Structure 1
Amino acid sequence: MSNDNQSDFIPSEEEEEHKASLRDSIRRMTNVQLGILLLAGAYTLYFVRPVLLPVILALLITLILNPIQKFLHERLHILSPVAALMILMMVTSGVGAAIIYLSEPAYEYSEKLRDDIVKQRLKNVFQPLSDIQSGLNKVATEVEKITTPKEPEVEDEFAPPESIARPGIEKKVSPPLETPATVLDDIKDNKPVRVKVGKSPVDELIKTVKSVGYHLVITFILVFFLLAYGENMIKRITEVEATAALMDQLTTEVSRYMLTITVINSLLGVITGLAMWALGMPNPILWGVMAGTLNFIPYIGAIIGAVIVFLVAATHFDNQLAVILVPAVYYMLTIIEGNFLTPAILGKSFTVNPIVIFIWVMAWGALWGIPGMLIGLPILMVVRISLSKFPMFNRLERIISA
């Protein structure tokens, strides 16, 4: 056997030695070292968001679209760059059409929430709760009066009786507040008044649109390259067949999960849009898209969506029952999806501990805001699937799993 072949071949004994040394290194890591490592990772993630966010979004979108890419390339024998370009054109056209169609009504509803009529409707909806709270406060005040013992009154023998009039003694009136000398000097000298001007909302909106547009452009360019050349890159990362097979299996499982959860969220969006249409809500497509997107944020996304449709219902309906029914139906659909539909389709192999999900999503939200909360659960599932492939991380994988 030649030296080149010997260098390419790694015996199983050496692989076991490498794994054993890695396990020993992990076990020797103390809690302090682990804490420092986590803090350093969080610090890095916080400051590299402008660069890392498009990369992570591109990777997640690629995992969703990868089965379609394989179908076009392997079954229909379309070149990978051409197939990637076709998929990207369909995705970008859909996203662009959604932004153009849904941005105008979203802006209109944000303006309507400032009307006095809407504020009065919201006040009427919460009036029963306000009455209950007021009644409880009165009861608590009365109970406090009854249970608190009265202190005996001590008479001052040197104080004159109140019934005796005291002529010549007038009620003291506190003097008016004096104007500071600096202000008087400024007025006499006719100095200009300094006024702090806040940032224009239009400028802030333009800045936000530019930032979102920049991230979208970079993300879709990365998606194209990953779809077109990502498979060849993965094959060239390692020459060991076992490692290549493991990476292929890991990519396949993660892609299957991402595609399945995207289909489930899209189905929830369609059902929610139909429900909002049946309840008489305007622009039901907007609420369906919102429901499907926010459903990537576990627990918190459903609450945010319910609050938004509640506010919009207050701008549209005069009936208090309709204002309450709309968010109730919205939230009920998300509960049915999260507790019955998704577990039935994905099974136990893709379930995660709810406590871990909540802490993980909140941590990503603290680091990257709403985008971090959107990508938090998919990243957690990628981590869990990756850990399940390595026996040395079985304990950590059991903690994450439900």
Structure 2
Amino acid sequence: RELVRSQSARCLAAYAYASAGPGESSTDLVFSGHSLIAENGALLAESDRFSFATTMVVADIDVERLLNERRRSNSFAAAAGFTPRVLSFRLADTVADSALRPISATPFVPADDSERSARCREIFAIQTTGLARRLRHTGGSKAVLGISGGLDSTLALLVTVKAFDRLGLAHAGIEAVTMPGFGTTARTRGNAERLANLLGVSLKVIPIAAAVRQHFRDIGHDETTHDITFENAQARERTQILMDLANRNGALVVGTGDLSELALGWCTYNGDHMSMYGVNSGVPKTLVQYLVAWCAEAEFSGEIAKILADIVDTPVSPELLPPKANGEINQITEETIGPYLLHDFFLYQVVRLQAPPAKILFSARQAFAGRYSDGEILRWLKLFYQRFFAQQFKRSCLPDGPKVGSVALSPRGDWRMPSDASANLWLNELDRLKADS
């Protein structure tokens, strides 16, 4: 909107703009169908966005006024030949301990409340439109997804409910499946089941412990060995259940994984990594929390809002390891892979700004001053690079899902990276930075 308006002012012209609409493919992008007409800096007409109906905007353009404005302008003249004057000077490298400009610790999350609310509304609309477009394309009226009582699956459920509302479909066509396993806690399971019931979706409870134990016997794995096999077998069992339910009911499996998990490869290959449409694949973890909180304030109320608030306060965990003796979550994701606050900062710096490790360290010092030491920043930045490179093979076969911002990791568009790329250059620089710090 501002680009069209300001360009019409700069050119002393009328600017009519029409973008592609939601009828386009939603494989990796969602088009809003935004149409605008501006004249000399004034917005004359604007359409609604994300509407599946064909829209048109009409406005009167005062051509004579524009011609007069151009005559009055001293700077609007025929472009004359211009030879630039080049001044040569030397600019030496400057060593600085701090920067004058502020550096946000949450580049994906606006600090201003109203701006953050507007961003959440925009992203939620992109997610719901993308899923609705995919359902319309397939001719389906049913969806299935796994719910755990965690942030990601909760957001995916809310998106699915609103997509069904947009299409005029009954919530009963959404099959929300909770699949308690060895690490499931009463808090997360209770929140998942209560939320599903309040939203009016079809709730299905399928415990997976017996099936996974049989699988362990089949492959000769000791159940008391809580290794990667123990964890991933549960994730793949859950995905198998969802896929089979989708086949039986003619439904679409809605993926729940977010952008941060994709960057770190924090998902089970051919487990929760796989779906038929990943609505959260463009949303970083730090923003997921705000989106769920925004939904509690702007889209829902009452008991649903209370449950959403408790989900926001629940520690992030895959719940694949047995809980503590008191029933609380025993597996905290950020204790294993580091703070998502840092990883989302690294993700933005690496992918969006293409910053080298030294610059990322400098920026992180400013953004997290007094919160994380150089040693902590370097530790988790090293892990980020290691996982970001090593886990590309999961992103190379990523399901479809909508891009919602300036950073995306789809192998079909924004991020074309070989699965066998080496991180050695970046890791070597990190070692030098650690030695110098």
Pairwise TM-score range, normalised by the shorter structure: under 0.3
- Which is richer in helix? 1
TM-score by length of 1: 0.24
- Which is richer in strand? 2
Between structure 1 and structure 2, the one with the greater Rg is: 1
